Structure 1
């Protein structure tokens, strides 16, 4: 296992293999076999996979190979091996939701995203490990850059599989910070889109939950999102993902705002210095970067996020009570930390929930007022590198998910319902830490476009 070096690390990508598929120099069949070889090498210690359908995937890759030979691929992601987080239904694999010993049969039903990916010709290789019920109880998955560290959660397997080079893309979900934080820990490109932009299928019990994509490149990330959106749209009542099929090529932002929230004060010194390096590079390209103290609207926005952890916890706990009560019947299988979260949620009242919704709405209004001031916001994806797997101590500013990392920089973007793209632009103590680019709702393409420019023009910041 090589130490992480953002300057030399090479992600597994798919889009650049397509020309060779078309002229016969390569094929989806051979591409899949290379993925399987990497999985065979690394899975024993990364442990990203919950279940795999190798024979079926090989048959799908062969069908894709024939389509390329005929010059008729179904989409830009035809033949792409993809993993699905084990909170999302697929018709031919069980959905265990990260519960140890949860023996369930395949539902026979594809979630909206799985259905769309199959229609686009993608090769669904299997289910990727999630934390228990998508919560804070750590999974068995390990960080691909240091097996003593967490990959983050709850999209643990999705992030680790991309970081390990097992796949070019994987599907994750986020309610609080479950895509962007693991992406940062595992050196992924990743997107949490605008709330409702990608159809969640059956997972509709949270007013913040989003489907998103982990990938080895922004181009593949966008293509997967677009293919899902154009086939199954967004959540009911939402207009879906805006933006063309062509992935962004990169546009320099003119003005950015640093989102400090309550995360900056708990961010370690080395991560702060790495992030400040990114900010100075942006300024050297003529980008205006403002932060707390530079404008009253920014100060009001920051103030609106001071209790983000508290009111997010109320919203998520209250909204999931009915679902969790059903699961409580199988409490013998649930971890103590999960049962504790269920018990806490039972104490929330309707008045608590209404207070939390009002706080969230205030933050959203303050965020909207920033639109004329900046093209996007930026911040670290976490206050530091991935925590050790045995790190169970309380952590300031993180009342939830401590064992899989502090979500203090992620909770605000989830409650704002904003599009976010994670970029692997920092190394701290030899481990990845990401930078997130945050946009106004429905500006997903613009955010990805600025993210592509940053990827192409900024040097990774390293505090090794």
Structure 2
């Protein structure tokens, strides 16, 4: 049995009844997390900062509230880690970039503020790929240190997968929540665009915040507690839904998306995914593929260049911001990031307009499919996390050291909500399956994901 097959995720929601009856406390729960961190962090390397003193004080206050029967929310006392792109008043925000070393704004991101208002224990900052891009930090995969944990939310995914915290906040522009969650065996929500208030992180039109967690209950609870306090982005209604995990709902029809990633999926991963689909058919779910309906084929064609669309939009929107960083501190930015900037600076306004047009066309096509099915299902990554030992001096830079976001680009460009479910194991490593809904159907697809986790058996496939 591999480490992942023996894995039992760390959860929080099932500890709160013990907080209420006094048989456990948030402080004791935090101490168990700190013990795991002491054991695993030297290899996993998920964190850039840990505020043990502050966390203990917050956990003690939470313990008193639970004892008096007055918790602030169901996540009161939950240790949460925050991706180091988001500002925290008590820990530096260095964005995985040498140019930001020592950066300490001493203010909270909107989502961090909301979590504190709900009583959560903001324990640590997690490693991000440089500036949220593709240049990796030191974090390793919690189930095989020779492999990447994914990116750019590397530390958030690995911290949850290593059972060091029950939940962590990640961010995504192309695939930075969903792919690392898939590689690290987590549940994760990439909300409808604008669903959770990004605070200061408003620079790009496809950036989103979302939780990684060891279970759906904790994933949803973290998201809805943020939304109920900080709302969504400016001009957006924000995430809406029930105050606790949505009820399990069996889908009647699901669209099976191949995306442009299907051709690079290994045979073992394809076989595992087909086994998942067979279980769905056996449970009475109708599956609709591109050959079955012209609308599905139209959607497949509209997202067939998803990686390029996401890269084009985001590169253009980041170019001035990143040019300023490079000009101010040329040595503080990686060669990989500089190469990305050079491609962005070769773009024209018409290149950006064409990417926006492709995105808008795909969104219209996706909306047209709403009556056809309850959601779409596809892989969350092309296979197990790839091996990564670092760039080789004198050799070209690896194009995607944190893995390929090809299966994540569609939901990003569609502004669609996605829930990733750890339903598969290939060669002893986790591989996620994702459900994608129409915009603002975050609660609905979470209910579908709950039904899947309660109904389908995890699929184990040898490499």
Same fold (TM over 0.5): yes
1:102 CA drift (Å): 3.5
1:46 CA drift (Å): 0.2
Q: Hey, what does 1:193 align to over in structure 2?
A: 191
Describe how 1:371-410 pairs up with structure 2 within 5 A. 371-390=370-389, 402-410=400-408
Cα offsets for 1:147-194 (capped at 9, x unmatched): 000000000000000100001100000000000000000000000000
Q: Hey, what does 2:89 align to over in structure 1?
A: 91
1:334 CA drift (Å): 1.3
Q: Hey, what does 1:396 align to over in structure 2?
A: none
1:92 CA drift (Å): 1.4
Q: Which runs of 4+ in 1 moved over 6 A?
A: none
* 1:440 equivalenced with 2:435 (yes/no): no
Closer/same/farther in 2, CA of residues 376 and 231 from structure 1, 3 Å limit: same
Describe how 1:36-435 pairs up with structure 2 within 5 A. 36-100=34-98, 102-328=100-326, 329-390=328-389, 402-435=400-433
Number of matched pairs: 457
The 3-state SS of whatever aligns with 1:402 is: coil
Contact 1:92 / 1:107 at 8 angstroms: preserved in 2?
A: no
The 3-state SS of whatever aligns with 1:16 is: coil
Distance in 2 separating the partners of 1:271 and 1:168: 27
1:34 CA drift (Å): 0.3
Q: Hey, what does 1:4 align to over in structure 2?
A: 4
Gaps of at least 5 residues in structure 2 are none
The 3-state SS of whatever aligns with 2:422 is: strand
Closer/same/farther in 2, CA of residues 108 and 82 from structure 1, 3 Å limit: same
The 3-state SS of whatever aligns with 1:172 is: strand
Two-structure CA RMSD over aligned residues (Å): 1.4
Cα offsets for 1:432-461 (capped at 9, x unmatched): 000000000000000000000001111111
1:130 CA drift (Å): 0.4
The 3-state SS of whatever aligns with 2:168 is: strand
Distance in 2 separating the partners of 1:263 and 1:346: 27
Contact 2:312 / 2:344 at 8 angstroms: preserved in 1?
A: yes
Distance in 2 separating the partners of 1:380 and 1:309: 15
Distance in 1 separating the partners of 2:166 and 2:308: 36
Q: TM-score with structure 2 length normalisation?
A: 0.97
1:292 CA drift (Å): 1.3
1:101 CA drift (Å): 6.6
1:401 CA drift (Å): 5.9
Distance in 2 separating the partners of 1:56 and 1:456: 37
1:323 CA drift (Å): 1.1
Distance in 2 separating the partners of 1:240 and 1:101: 33
Distance in 2 separating the partners of 1:315 and 1:101: 24
Distance in 1 separating the partners of 2:158 and 2:60: 26
The 3-state SS of whatever aligns with 1:441 is: coil
The 3-state SS of whatever aligns with 2:420 is: strand
Contact 1:136 / 1:400 at 8 angstroms: preserved in 2?
A: no
1:391 CA drift (Å): 7.3
Distance in 2 separating the partners of 1:157 and 1:458: 29
Distance in 1 separating the partners of 2:103 and 2:268: 47
The 10-residue stretch of structure 1 (310-319 or 113-122) with the greater mean CA deviation from structure 2 = 310-319
Distance in 2 separating the partners of 1:252 and 1:344: 45
Cα offsets for 1:109-145 (capped at 9, x unmatched): 1110010000000000010000001111111000000
